[in-house]
Amino acid sequence: MGTYFLMHRSTTPAVLTFRHGVRVPAQSRMGRASPRVILLFCLLSGFAHAQSELPTKLPPPPPTSTEDIIFRDIPSVYSASKYEQKVTEAPSSVTIITSDEIKKYGYRTLADILQSVNGFFVTNDRNYSYLGVRGFNPPGDYNSRILLLIDNHRLNDNNYDQAGLGTEGVVDVDLIDRVEIIRGPSSSLYGTNAFFGVINIMTKRGRDIRGLEVSGEYGSFQSYKGRVTYGNRFQNGLEVLLSTSFYDSHGHRNLFFREFTKPETNNGFVRNGDDDRFPYFFAKASFADFSLQGGFLSRNKAFPTAAFGTVFNTTRSRTVDEHGYVDLKYDHEFANQLGLSARLYYDRFYYRGDYLYDYETEERRQRVLNQDVGLGEWWGGELKLTKRLWQRHKFTIGTEYRDNFRQDLSNADTSPPFRSYLNEKKDSRIWAFFFQDEFSLLDNLILNAGVRYDHYSTFGGTVNPRLALIYNLKNTSIKLLYGEAFRAPSVYEGFYSGTGFEKNDNLKPEDITTYEIVVDHYFNKYLRASITGYYYTIDGLISQVQPNENSKNLRFENVESIDAKGIELFLEGKWPSGMEARLGYALQETEDQRTNRPLTNSPHHLVKGGLIIPLLSDQVFAAIEGRFLSQRRTLSEKPEQISTSSFFLMNFTLFSQNIIHNAEMSLSFANLFDQRYGDPGSGEHDQAIIEQDGRTFWVKLKYGF
């Protein structure tokens, strides 16, 4: 991961919720941090008072040394504090993945990128991609415990809290400049969903394209992708980037599922039921201190797993996911070290699930198409000020407002006959206030403290603090971190009813408390090592409760509590020759406090490595990437399916640039050795384990005019 280097060259338990009558996890939390927040600010006040005895001017910097050169060239990150700072001073564990790594490793989606991150793993059910972080990835969760941003704009929707990572994600990897990954609770700045961390996709600018760029791609399963992008920066200061992409994949012609090996279900084979396609549009423009940005994606995907008890072996069961947004931002730095940032945005999210069922009545058996629909629209704004005071303090203060003026859920049989099961129309409002102080206690010792208050029209307020002590000594950085975060219950969790469900509008947010230590050591300006240890607890986790004497239907309640601990080791090197290498290992233990059992879909061991080798100067590179996942518990109690098998995968990419002027070419093989493996299925699946793709290939050609 291109994280801390000078660039020398250009799982869980059955924590389940339901979306259309199927299991998918959830979460939330009430603010219980008032005493801690008061103590936190008393400490800050005491430090501020003591600061008056410090010199009014900082002492001159010491003579330059090798260690100084290393730290001076360490890259910056924005997302950890909502302003640029060196990663060694950021109040969190940070990983940065650059566009150079993306193209050399042949990543095609954000899910591919995140698969490479130490301690992360991605599960796929042949419809959506789900991100696991530090041993936590409940089967079927829509990534609601990670906040996903694009250029600081929130992408989690307002109905399901979904963050799309695969072809359903609102991003084209060719437009990514870098991906900033901030581990740990970040609700002190971002509010809900920043539970395990924040992923911020920073896109390229017009000056990075400098003209017209086209690309064409082809891969396994008759998959095609095309892109046209124009970008430029003009002499008057106007900068624009316009891009459109199209993707179409036939998918597997034949998929086999042993759970359906009966004559009436085509002996377990699904034919032509795995297609996937989307158009994608993106535009951004900036002039002076103003920038305007927008994107739109509409993905249409058939799912072959017969999820939710639908008809097996059909092309009519599919999902449609659409997300569009517009974001206007003003950002200005005044001469007195005062920074002002303001933004205004609008989003629209649309989901439709087409589910084909066999209905049996006394008269006859017929097939009925059921449609599950979620429509969300929201607008909001944010105002943020940053100011450096008394040499040693950097304050950030801000406020945010979001109006969810449409949060609609519906479910009905559309043909024949028509029957409505759900028609819920909701709205809600959120306002928040946040404050952070970066206080330089000494030249190499930083205290970073922040807190945010969020108020929801649905359940009230919640308070979330964060505290970090950061010490930089020669070529070693040590961070002691504490943080709390929450996730508000989604509209889906609170108000989905019908077809065996009942709503529970008394759900409260769930919360997480995390303790963490991060040590980074720089052997020289080419090689570094990192070790991270963490412990977290989750309280009030929203889970699906089975029917009982008090209720004949399924419902969501705050019932789960989780304990987890782990250690993450990472070694990375980048050399002037162009060679790059990384190796990571994560040991993680997650446990349900009630049952004392490991969580579902939670691997105990994760090992990842990558190597980029220059074969011909700065023109041809070979990239090898491998990852190992230990076995994971499934939802099944059958001995032969109680867990997945451990597996090792290897990917290979051959990449070339500038052999032909302004042209780039790549050939990639995923799962090079054709390893057979599977991911745990969710509650909506009959399959306890969903088999994944074998060896696949992808060819790409890009040319700039």
Q: State the Cα–Cα distance between residues 160 and 170, nearest whole angstrom.
A: 16
The closest alpha carbon to 629, from 597, 586, 592, belongs to 586
Tell me the CB-side half-sphere exposure of residue 107, using CA atoms within 13 A: 29
Residues 6+ apart with CB under 8 A from 377: 158, 346, 347, 348, 349, 404, 405, 406
Q: What are phi and psi of 269, to 5 degrees?
A: -100, 135
Task: Tell whether 365 is covered by a domain.
Answer: yes
- Residue 698 within a domain: no
643 contacts 629 by C-beta, under 8 angstroms: no
Q: What counts of helices (H) and strands (E) characterise the chain?
A: 7, 35
Return the pLDDT at 223. Answer: 97
**554: containing domain:** 34-563
Q: What are phi and psi of 137, to 5 degrees?
A: -160, 75
CA distances from 531 to 232, 587, 594 (A): 41, 11, 30
Distance CA 603, CA 137 (A): 10
Bridge-partner residues for 162, per DSSP?
none
C-alpha–C-alpha distance, residues 218 and 119, integer Å? 31
Residue closest to 303 by CA, chosen among 322, 275, 265? 275
SS3 190: helix
CATH code of 132's domain = 2.40.170.20
> Residue 202 domain-assigned?
yes
451 forms bridges with which residues in the sheet? Answer: 435, 465
- DSSP, res 551: B
Enter the tokens of residue 1: 């991961």
Kind and range of the H or E run holding 69 = helix 66-72
- The candidate with the shortest Cα–Cα distance to 535, out of 555, 514, 520, is 514
CA 90/CA 470 separation, integer angstroms: 8
User: Which residue matches tokens 């040991």?
Assistant: 587
**C-alpha–C-alpha distance, residues 695 and 475, integer Å:** 42
| Residue-level pLDDT at 75 | 85
Segment (H or E) for 472:
strand 460-473
Considering the domain boundaries, does residue 352 fall inside one? yes
pTM: 0.89
Q: Are 370 and 413 in contact (CB under 8 A)?
A: yes
Averaged pLDDT, groups of 10, the chain, 705 residues long = 38 38 37 43 41 41 45 80 94 96 97 96 95 89 93 96 94 96 96 96 95 96 97 96 97 93 93 95 97 97 93 94 98 92 98 91 79 96 95 95 97 84 94 97 95 95 97 94 96 81 86 97 92 96 74 78 96 94 96 89 96 94 97 90 95 95 95 96 90 96 95
Between CA 394 and CA 368 the distance in angstroms is: 61
CA distance 332 to 338: 8
3-state secondary structure of 493: helix
Nearest in space to 687 (alpha carbons), one of 152, 138, 309, 276 = 309
CA triple 428-429-434, angle to 5 deg: 145
Task: Enter the DSSP assignment of 391.
Answer: T
| Residue 374 is assigned to a structural domain of this protein | yes
Nearest to 254 by CA among 234, 274, 236: 274
Check the CA dihedral 486-492-495-497 and report its sign.
Answer: negative
3-state class (DSSP) for residue 268: helix
* Structural domains counted in the chain: 1
- Identify any residues that bridge with 699 across adjacent strands, giving them in sequence order: 218, 667
Does 619 fall in a domain? Answer: no
Is residue 298, in this structure, part of any structural domain at all? Answer: yes
Token pair listed for 208:
């990075």
Using DSSP, state whether 92 is helix, strand or coil: coil
What is the rounded distance in angstroms from the CA atom of residue 140 to the CA atom of residue 318? 16
Residue 630 lies in a domain: no
C-alpha separations of 492 from 141, 458, 462, 473 in Å: 12, 14, 20, 49
